[in-house]
Amino acid sequence: MKALIYLTKRSFINNLKRAVRKPSTLIALIFGIVYGIFIIFSLGTLAVSVHIDSVNGLLAILSVWSIYGILGNFMAYSSRKGIIFRPGHAHFVFTAPVNPKLVLVASAWMNYLASVIIWLLIGIAAVMVFGVSPVGAVLIVFAGCVIELIFEMSVMVFLYTNDHLPEKFIKAVGVLIKVLMAAFTLAIVLYFRINGLSLESAWALLDMPWLQMIPVIGWQIAAYRLILLGPTVLNVICTVLYLGVVAVSAAAALRMKCDGGYYEEAAKFADDYAELKKRQRNGEMVFGMNGRKRSFRRVREKIAGTGAKAIFDRQLLEYRKEKFFFFDKFTLITIVLAFVFSYGLGDSAADSGFAQLFLLGVVAYVSLVMSGYLGKWESELKNPYLFLVPDTPFRKMWYSTLTEHIKAIINGCIFCIPIGIFWHVHPVEIVYCVLIYVVIQADRLYTTVLAQSLLGDVFGKTGQNILRMFIQMALLGAGAGVAVMVGIFANMDFVFPIVLIYSMMVTVAMGVLASLRFDTMEQLV
């Protein structure tokens, strides 16, 4: 065990040293910290704006975490993908004369660290935003960092190291968790559909006794209610049951025998994770690992274009072979964001009297948040034959990115139209927002070429993305600021035309500059 502790400690220290010494990693670390602080303050402001900055608001957040966060972790453990293993584990750690159960517990140290950080942030927010007493915040942090972590570790050991249960049973547990999460979601949607979406109905849902009676999950919510709202007969009984389950689970995990049956699957996961990190370092936005073989549709069409247009025809043919054509996980994220912003900022947008400006700001924010996704354009830049196509650089860039422009139109409509309708934005201004979204996405693609050609691989993909983001924010932000000032002091009808025209001018300029630097990109492939 001492060797594993030493390995964990050295891994953590070496990661920090690597971050300090490597420019790209250091930049990413600094940017991540700054962005994390910004997100924390933004969430605090959002909590105040939607009037959930109270003890009930914190209880609602913890309840949602108990249902979806905990069940999500258990689902990951049931598929044996909840712990990050690396190729070094398979070569050195798995072959060492150490109990496989201890290897599992030690390998999950990043999970523990992330959990501790999250609960410390929740504790700080509990005092500063939600008005919880310091004693209550300490108890909440203790419940999350100690009791919940012990329970999660026990379940992790049970699902990973249990060599006596059939594999079908473990997979059935994962399916059952998915069904439970879907059932919870359906029940919540039906409840708000019947009672209306309001804070009063949300508080009434939290006060329902049956919520605390749900085994394990409800008992955990009852423990949070005991800490935050004080004792009742129901939450005291449910808290005792929860502590009993945690104690029994921990004892069962300690007594359970393990012969390392999970090693083979963990080694496969380590290889898949290494491949995922490699793709991320190359600038791809990878949403997850999927070991299943992909299936494609049969398409009889052939590539008919010549020159640079053949690139577009090939990409279009590839999309036609996909099950959902242009619709992918990025589209799903767009739908979720549209739903969240529609309900989360609806009151603030209505109270301001400038819902159209709120929509414009949300479009700009989402464009920056989703800045790491480049689609097929990123993969095209890695293909040497792209630079050998007998055509002009501008046409090659245009046809290489045309499918991404089409996807941007689709995602822009999916994102802007529901929010605009819900916020009662004029249809013309919704169309403007869709067009602005498409233009910003196009600018992002062309600015990427400039960032890559200017920096090369000195600061890695992280440095390139940060430089591109700063260029976009500086150029597009200046025009947006001028447009808003004109709208406030002159006429609000001028805002959207000015932003659209200015963004188009910047995007065309970026496209021209990128085409001039395009031929030099070959040396980076």
- Report yes or no on 275 lying in a domain: no
pLDDT reported for residue 243: 92
Q: Which residue has the higher pLDDT, 236 or 483?
A: 236
For 132-150, write each residue's pLDDT tens digit: 888 988 999 898 888 888 8
Cα–Cα nearest to 120, from 128, 451, 437: 128
For residues 207 and 95, membership in a common domain is answered with yes
Query: What does the pLDDT average to over 115-142?
Result: 86
For residues 154 and 217, membership in a common domain is answered with yes
Give the C-alpha separation, 247 to 154, whole Å: 9
Max avg pLDDT among 89-93, 100-104, 177-181, 449-453: 177-181
Concatenating the DSSP letter of every residue in 511-524 gives HHHHHHHGGGGGGG
For residues 323 and 412, membership in a common domain is answered with yes
- Report the mean per-residue pLDDT for the chain: 76
Q: Which residue has the higher pLDDT, 163 or 194?
A: 194
For residues 112 and 230, membership in a common domain is answered with yes
For residues 459 and 355, membership in a common domain is answered with yes
Give the C-alpha separation, 154 to 249, whole Å: 6
For residues 69 and 165, membership in a common domain is answered with yes
Q: Which of 215, 233, 266 is the last residue of a domain?
A: 266
For residues 211 and 313, membership in a common domain is answered with no
- Report yes or no on 287 lying in a domain: no
- Report yes or no on 289 lying in a domain: no
Task: Specify the range with the lowest mean pLDDT, choosing from 151-160, 297-306, 503-512.
Answer: 297-306
- The CA-based angle 112-113-116, given to 5 degrees, is 85
In the three-class reduction of DSSP (H, G, I as helix; E, B as strand; rest coil), residue 192 is classed as helix
Query: What does the pLDDT average to over 181-203?
Result: 79
pLDDT over 80 (residue 35): no
Q: Which of 245, 266, 287 is the last residue of a domain?
A: 266
Let me know: does 445 contact 267? Beta carbons within 8 Å: no
pLDDT over 80 (residue 126): yes
pLDDT over 70 (residue 224): yes
- Report yes or no on 409 lying in a domain: yes
Cα–Cα nearest to 8, from 88, 120, 97: 88
pLDDT reported for residue 26: 62
For residues 492 and 436, membership in a common domain is answered with yes
- Report yes or no on 19 lying in a domain: no
Overall number of domains in the chain? 2
pLDDT reported for residue 58: 84
For residues 116 and 214, membership in a common domain is answered with yes
Give the C-alpha separation, 98 to 373, whole Å: 42
- The CA-based angle 503-506-511, given to 5 degrees, is 120
For 302-333, write each residue's pLDDT tens digit: 666 677 888 888 878 877 777 666 676 777 77
Task: Specify the range with the lowest mean pLDDT, choosing from 5-19, 208-222, 233-247, 442-456.
Answer: 5-19
- Report yes or no on 30 lying in a domain: no
Q: How far apart are the first and last CA of the chain?
A: 45
pLDDT reported for residue 239: 92
Query: What does the pLDDT average to over 285-292?
Result: 52
pLDDT reported for residue 400: 82
- The CA-based angle 308-311-317, given to 5 degrees, is 145
For residues 379 and 243, membership in a common domain is answered with no
For residues 236 and 367, membership in a common domain is answered with no
For residues 364 and 509, membership in a common domain is answered with yes
Q: Which domain holds residue 397?
A: 309-524
- Report yes or no on 510 lying in a domain: yes
- Report yes or no on 5 lying in a domain: no
pLDDT reported for residue 77: 74
- The CA-based angle 459-523-457, given to 5 degrees, is 5
pLDDT reported for residue 303: 66
Q: In the structure encoding, which two tokens stand for residue 15, read together?
A: 């990661």
Q: Which residue has the higher pLDDT, 348 or 395?
A: 395
Concatenating the DSSP letter of every residue in 308-360 gives THHHHHHHHHHHHHSTTTT--HHHHHHHHHHHHHHHHSHHHHHHHS-HHHHHH
pLDDT over 90 (residue 52): no
